[in-house]
């Protein structure tokens, strides 16, 4: 393993939201701080800095991770998606639109992380039950919504995707 002296920065390259980007990071720089402060991805929020609240969740290699518990240099060469990368062609993704429609956000602080976890979760489990969605959401702390709108939005997206898949099969 390459050892970098404390305080010395090294160039870190990764693909963020489909764009190859690089920036400088010390060995101790957290991925959340690197994304926010070095690369300008302000949708990555930092709440607890312990990985408990989930506000900093991003996708790294398609997997939801807490960016406040991973160092930026550990994401060298990785494909990273932040909430800014969910919109498609300037339009909200189906999940973002469902969150808007179901009033699944209020102050918005936790929303980016919840959207990222939900995106990853729906890819792995495209037909979840309400109980499964609530369990997944238990990894996030939201003080505003009461989670009901989030559950409805996630289930709505899953049901729509399932209907669309059934129509395509015909």
Please determine, looking at this structure, whether the domain spanning 94-169 carries the CATH number 1.10.150.120.
Answer: yes
Q: Which residues of 56-79 are buried (b: 16+ CB within 10 A; e: fewer)?
A: bbbbbeeebbbbbebbbbebeebb
Question: What phi and psi values does residue 58 have, to the nearest 5 degrees?
Answer: -135, 170
What are the helix (H) ranges across 46-147? 94-101, 111-124, 130-137
The predicted pLDDT at position 1 comes to 56
CA distance 140 to 130: 16
CA distance 146 to 35: 29
CA distance 55 to 153: 18
Give the chain's length. 170
Question: Which of the listed CATH numbers 3.10.20.30, 3.40.50.300, 3.40.50.1240, 3.20.20.70 matches domain 10-85?
Answer: 3.10.20.30
Residue (of 44, 149, 126, 127) closest to 137 by Cα position: 149
Query: How far is the CA of 136 from the CAs of 4, 41, 65, 99, 129, in angstroms?
Result: 37, 24, 13, 16, 11
Question: Do the strands 19-25 and 63-66 form a parallel or antiparallel pair, or are they unpaired?
Answer: unpaired
Instruction: Work out the number of other CB atoms within 10 angstroms of the CB of residue 99.
Output: 26
- Tokens in use for 57? 């969740």
Strand partners, 15: 20, 79
Parse the chain into domains and list their residue ranges.
10-85, 94-169
Please give the average pLDDT of every successive group of 10 residues along the chain, which has 170 residues: 74 97 95 96 91 94 96 97 94 96 91 96 96 96 91 97 84
């Amino acid at each position: 393993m390459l050892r970098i002296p404390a305080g010395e920065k090294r160039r870190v390259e990764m693909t963020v939201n489909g764009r190859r980007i690089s920036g400088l990071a010390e060995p101790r720089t957290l991925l959340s701080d690197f994304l926010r402060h070095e690369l300008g991805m302000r949708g990555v929020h930092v709440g607890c800095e312990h990985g408990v609240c989930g506000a900093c969740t991003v996708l790294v290699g398609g997997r939801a991770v807490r960016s406040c518990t991973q160092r930026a240099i550990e994401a060298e060469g990785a494909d990273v998606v932040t909430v800014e990368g969910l919109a498609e062609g300037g339009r909200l993704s189906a999940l973002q639109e469902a969150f808007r429609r179901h009033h699944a956000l209020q102050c918005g602080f936790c929303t980016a992380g919840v959207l990222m976890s939900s995106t990853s979760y729906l890819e792995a489990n495209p037909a979840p039950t309400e109980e499964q969605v609530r369990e997944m959401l238990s990894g996030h702390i939201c003080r505003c919504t009461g989670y009901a709108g989030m559950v409805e939005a996630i289930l709505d997206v899953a049901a729509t995707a399932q209907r669309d898949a059934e129509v395509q099969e015909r």
